Amino acid sequence: MASPPKKPRDPARPTRAKAAKPEVAPLAPHLVQLLNPALAPGFGEAPQAAYDASSIHGLDAEDIEKYGLGEGFHAGGGVEATAESLAQLLRLGDPNIRDQKPWTPHRPERPAKSEGGVRFDLVSEYTPKGDQPAAIEELVKGIAAQERDQVLLGVTGSGKTFTMASVIESVQRPALILAPNKTLAAQLYGEFKSFFPNNAVEYFVSYYDYYQPEAYVPRSDTYIEKESSVNEQIDRMRHAATRALLERDDVIIVASVSCIYGIGSVETYTAMTFSVTLGEKLEQRQLVTDLVALHYRRIGADFTRGTFRVRGDTVDIFPAHYEDRAWRISFFGDEVESISEFDPLTGKKTVDLEFVKVYANSHYVTPRPTLLQSIKAIKEELRARLDELHRSGRLVEAQRLEQRTRFDLEMMEATGSCAGVENYSRYLTGRRPGEPPPTLFEYLPDNALVFADESHVSIPQIGAMYKGDFRRKATLAEYGFRLPSCMDNRPLRFEEWDAMRPQTVSVSATPGNWELNQTGGVFVEQVIRPTGLIDPRVEVRPARAQVDDLLDEARATAQIGYLSLVTVLTKRMAEDLTEYLHENGVRVRYMHSDIDTIERIEIIRDLRLGAFDVLVGINLLREGLDIPECGLVAILDADKEGFLRSQTSLIQTIGRTARNVNATVFLYADRVTDSMQKAI
């Protein structure tokens, strides 16, 4: 019997072929009900932002009959995830946990510290001057009185960093210094390192040089795969920071706001550590097995951080938290005969050790029993989500989700990890749905302090990060690229950070409303600079000839040996102005968000060393940038009201000259705005 002729495909109808759409993942049941209007009678059928329901192909009558979905099945509704429901979820929170008791911060048990008992010792040729002695005394009294919030209002150049260091030495408590960006974090790290050379001053910022998050754009049916480039040096410093918090009392962590993003839990991170003691019974094969479980790689020649090598009866380990030191463990049979520290470059032994404690090469390392239990729970969620997608006729999403998730599970079973393993962190860390992920704040000891430097910028950043992350993950989960549980791999919400943070001192020349509300408007003032310098001279000049005038002033400033900082409004303007100044013989460079972390630090260093005379920027030449050699700050288009030319922005940019008695500020504007008037 001849087969019936194939029905020609309507070219206007989108294909459902597997290759036509990128692969997707799912949402937790309670979130699915909110995000999928066809399954949630409580929400209307409003189309998602930027596309409407008619633009999405559902199932035709033939498909409905084929898959036995019934006459009442609504073909297109299953895919109409709405902007309205997303907005409501963002506004009201997760309905599963909305009416529960207030969330209580997780305080995990910590192991005994092997290097505790060391005091903070401030080393400096300076003594507190100006308003510093009174400010230090007031802050120390407030901390001793268990005041949860204090504000240090200190003008630019008044020595707020030295005040913070003095407070830490006075109270002898570990501290987290929260900085608004990596550039300022690096500067603070250098300053605290010089103040406390004999203590553990560590650096904890995002280790990505480049990061393109995983995303899906429903309107154009575009899937963007995660791409990233990890900076090995910063990764090492992050490991050194978490290890120091668990091993020492005299710890100062300088961190950017990225510390509110999830890392491995304290419990699993500490459970996967092990010690090797001189003279103990230990098989070499067991040591190798333990190192592999901690994500160390066995290599032959290229001995780098996070690797180990075996040479006869000797095992060399390059710990995750060291830069230029490694350990050599020698065996005699199944007994540890010697442990030594050596230089991995020269091979020269530096010291003999009694014991070493090996920490994992990844913050996401998980004990095998926990991993197997997690895989079982992930499979259960996958099964439930697939049933849900099939019931609503979303077959492409179901196939996509199953393929991606099963591949991840196979990788986890085989190697203990997979690409994007952080998306399964809810299961790997044993958290309940809606609970915050483990972050650096869980590693902090109970008596820690938080100093929010430039708090008017750093604290608002905390609340902003969650919402953007949520919208991206919700779309990924709705369209089958991820399981719904991926939404629990997120930064802390502001209220979670607020509940989790220890005693906090907000430090700024222009504190924000939230900080002042927390203290009832009370603040500790630090206005008189230890140097005795007064505020710089500010001059308003017409914007019509701003570039040529700037060229003359930059040349004049360079001739007397000072440096110039110039702020513009866009990246393109920064690059074009740099090119123009360079063509006119000025030694100039630019710095904006496209420049990676380490290069920004090098640019600031080269500027101070005199490699060039003028630095052009946009929004990075502001808070906390300490350049005493700066003799000129030029703010172009100062009358363009907005975020970059607000009162706070102008004050902070003008403040870069506060450390130079001969410095001048030029505001190029055709009219004086309210923000300019208040700043001046």
- Provide CB contacts within 8 A for 20, sequence distance 6+: 14, 221
| Domain finish residue from 358, 391, 410 | 358
327: β partners: 317, 341
Banded pLDDT at 531 (limits 50, 70, 90): low
Banded pLDDT at 41 (limits 50, 70, 90): very low
Read off the pLDDT of each residue in 594-613 and give the average, rounded to a whole number: 84
Residue 626 lies in a domain: yes
Average pLDDT of every residue of the chain: 81
Q: What would the two tokens of residue 347 be? A: 């091979």
CB 530, CB 160: distance < 8 Å:
no
- Provide CB contacts within 8 A for 614, sequence distance 6+: 554, 558, 563, 564, 565, 566, 581, 586, 587, 588, 589
Q: What would the two tokens of residue 94 be? A: 């997760």
Read off the pLDDT of each residue in 665-674 and give the average, rounded to a whole number: 86
Residue 418 lies in a domain: no
Higher pLDDT, 474 or 167: 167
Read off the pLDDT of each residue in 27-53 and give the average, rounded to a whole number: 37
Helix axes 182-195, 597-609, angle to 10 degrees: 60
CA-to-CA distance for 211 and 208, rounded, in angstroms?
Answer: 6
pLDDT in tens, 236-250: 999 999 999 999 999
What is the radius of gyration, based on Cα positions, of the chain?
29
CA-to-CA distance for 95 and 103, rounded, in angstroms?
Answer: 14
CB 257, CB 178: distance < 8 Å:
yes
| Domain finish residue from 328, 358, 388 | 358
Pairing verdict, β 274-277 and 355-358:
antiparallel
CATH code for position 576: 3.40.50.300
Task: Identify the three-state secondary structure at position 308.
Answer: strand
CA-to-CA distance for 47 and 76, rounded, in angstroms?
Answer: 11
Q: What would the two tokens of residue 591 be? A: 């710095």
Banded pLDDT at 515 (limits 50, 70, 90): very high
Q: CB atoms < 10 A from the CB of 7, how many?
A: 7
pLDDT, position 649: 78
CB 179, CB 453: distance < 8 Å:
yes
pLDDT in tens, 313-338: 999 999 999 989 999 999 999 999 99
Q: Residue 363: is its pLDDT beyond 70?
A: yes
DSSP letter for 576, please.
Answer: H
Read off the pLDDT of each residue in 429-450 and give the average, rounded to a whole number: 90
Read off the pLDDT of each residue in 302-313 and give the average, rounded to a whole number: 93
pLDDT, position 501: 92
Residue 399 lies in a domain: no
Q: What residue numbers bound the domain in which 316 lies?
A: 274-358
φ, ψ of residue 166 to 5 degrees: the values are: -65, -40
Residue 390 lies in a domain: no
CB 480, CB 424: distance < 8 Å:
no
CA-to-CA distance for 374 and 430, rounded, in angstroms?
Answer: 8
Read off the pLDDT of each residue in 379-402 and give the average, rounded to a whole number: 94
Q: Which of 142, 117, 134, 132 is nearest to 165 (CA)?
A: 132
Residue 103 lies in a domain: no
Read off the pLDDT of each residue in 250-254 and give the average, rounded to a whole number: 96
CATH code for position 305: 3.30.2060.10
Banded pLDDT at 623 (limits 50, 70, 90): low
CA-to-CA distance for 500 and 491, rounded, in angstroms?
Answer: 13
- Provide CB contacts within 8 A for 8, sequence distance 6+: none
Q: Which of 170, 570, 111, 176 is nearest to 357 (CA)?
A: 111
Q: Is the pTM of this model over 0.85?
A: no
Q: Residue 664: is its pLDDT beyond 90?
A: no
Residue 313 lies in a domain: yes
Q: CB atoms < 10 A from the CB of 101, how many?
A: 6
Q: Give the total number of structural domains in the chain.
A: 3
| Domain finish residue from 315, 337, 358 | 358
Higher pLDDT, 542 or 66: 542
Residue 207 lies in a domain: no
Q: What would the two tokens of residue 580 be? A: 């123009």
